[in-house]
Structures are given as structure tokens and as C-alpha cells.
Amino acid sequence: MSSTVLTGTTGTLLRMATAGSVDDGKSTLVGRLLHDSKSVLTDQLAAVERGSREKGLGIVDLALLTDGLRAEREQGITIDVAYRYFATAKRTFVLADCPGHVQYTRNTVTGSSTADVLVLLVDVRKGVLEQTRRHLAVAALLRVPHLVFAVNKIDLVDFDADRFATVAAEVAEVAAGLGIEDVRCVPVSALLGDNIVERSERTPWYDGPSLLDLLEELPSGTPVEDEPFRFPVQLAIRPQAAARDPKHVEYRGYAGQIASGVVRVGDRVSVLPLGRTTTVVGIDAAGTELDEAFAPMSVTLR
């Protein structure tokens, strides 16, 4: 099994969350961001392409990259908070894709609670809706440092600059009423990829950065290298297959969620309260073997 490196070259971590009203395109935007930043493995993309064909779609449904629960796939909505980890040459990202339905708002609170930035989607045709206001209130209550509005589906209004300006002004007014000052707006098409990773030629009137460029430059990223590595062990794992498969006979893993810092294969770690030291020989996450992992990833250490 080949191993994977998820962290960026600078070691600067940005925790981000996406939210918005129902069908504003949150999962599609996240899928597009992962796809266009080349953070999707070949087998993952093949599974999404297969799922899109099974749904009878004429295009690849990138939302399937994040809609992991069976109920979500069948209903076409996001219920749980889907976490994804990816990196560019400038920064490492922990991304929480939050649900849009009112009954799952508390999951949005969970996903936003540790975010450095909230990317809030708004359908350019609908403007600010009631659920948009709720998510803004959550951001204000949690004091999320930065707020970015992705004004989505700009392609459905023929990339109209005036319509974007109207929505941006509405957004700024509502945010100001909640005491939120750091607000950025980017016109995007999650479906087609306009202004997600690269600047779009179809919005010559927009002179700002693409969404990814903006996220790469935002301050307040957490320097993961400066944090001590802490990993509360929740479960010791010995596969049931160990009795049948010789490869698993010696396997013993320790599962949990990294509370802070970064860990790499070969690192020496101290086990408390005994104070013993040992060496990390492997890191497993969701069936993938990693070279390194960082907070708040859930992994199994060997």
C-alpha cells in the first residue's frame, strides 16, 4: 500500500467549514475544490464517476466526494459533518462540510466551532435566506475569525456583475448587523469550476482572488509544528482477520483523534501515565496508510 502525505510545505494549518441553505451547492463546491486542487485519489474519482452514471447524470457529481452517508447519497443532501483533509503548496486544510437543512443546524454548529474561516454559500438567484441568517448568527456567536461568502451558481445568471453586487451588498448589510466585519465575497460556479481554484475569464468584472487563493492567504492559520503532539487513545485494535490472514497476526493499532500537533512515521512518542517511549511505525486512516497526520484527524497509530 502506498503512503500519502497530507500536510503542506509550510506546515500552516487552516481549519475551514462550509455551510449554507439547502441546495446552495455546498457539497459540490467542496468536491470541486478537492478535484481541481488535485486532492482526489484515482480510485475515489472512479467511484464518483460510477455513482454519477448509476444516478443517470450526464456529468460527474463531485458532491459524492463528500456525501458519505447512505441516506445522504439517496436523498442528495448532507446530514452529518463530512471532514476532508487536503493540502496545497502553501497550506494544509481541514475542511468540514456542514449540512444545510434546518433540522441539522446543530451539526453546523459542531463543524464551525473550531473553524478559522466559514465559507458560506449563497445562491446568487435567491440571495440571503433565513438559513443563511442562522449560519451567520452561528458564526457571530462562535466568533469565527473570518467569513467568506461564495456567491454560487453565477453561471445561471449569465455571470451578471450587477446581480453579484446586489447579493454582496445584502450579505454585507446582514453581517454588519451581527457585528461581523471581516467579510469577503467571491462569485463562483461550483458546478463548472469558475473562480474556485483559478480565476475565471467569464467574470472579467471581478478583480479579486479565486476562492482557493483567498483561503491560502487568510491569516490565523494554526502553526501545527509549534503544537505538542497529543493523542488520547480511544480503542486498541486487533483485526478479526488476524486469525486467518498472516499479514494481520502482528497488527495492533491504537485509534483516536489527534488533539493537537502532528505525528510522522518514525517519531518517538511518550505513552502516559507510564512514561514509556515507543516509535510510530505506521499511521492508518480510512483504509489509507499515511506518512503523517495532524489535529483533528482521526487515525490509528501502529
Percentage, residues of the chain above pLDDT 90: 29
By CB neighbour count within 10 A (0-12 exposed, 13-18 middle, 19+ buried), where does 106 fall?
exposed
- Please give the residue that has the higher pLDDT: either 215 or 4: 215
Three-class SS of 232-264 = CEEEEECCHHHHCCHHHCCCCEEEEECCECEEE
pLDDT of residue 78: 44
- Right CATH for 225-301 from 2.40.30.10, 3.30.70.1140, 2.60.120.380, 3.30.1360.30: 2.40.30.10
CB 302 within 8 Å of CB 283: yes
Reported as a single tens digit per residue, the pLDDT across 141-200 is 888 889 999 999 999 999 999 999 999 999 999 999 999 888 899 999 998 999 999 999
Rounded Cα–Cα distance for residues 118 and 40 (Å): 22
13-221 classified as CATH 3.40.50.300: yes
pLDDT of residue 10: 43
Rounded Cα–Cα distance for residues 255 and 272 (Å): 15
Has residue 123 got a pLDDT over 50?
Answer: yes
Average pLDDT over every residue of 273-282: 89
CB 225 within 8 Å of CB 121: no
For the chain, the domains span 13-221, 225-301
pLDDT of residue 288: 74
- Phi (first) and psi of residue 28, to 5 degrees: -65, -40
Closest by CA to 100, choosing from 121, 114, 83, 117, is 121
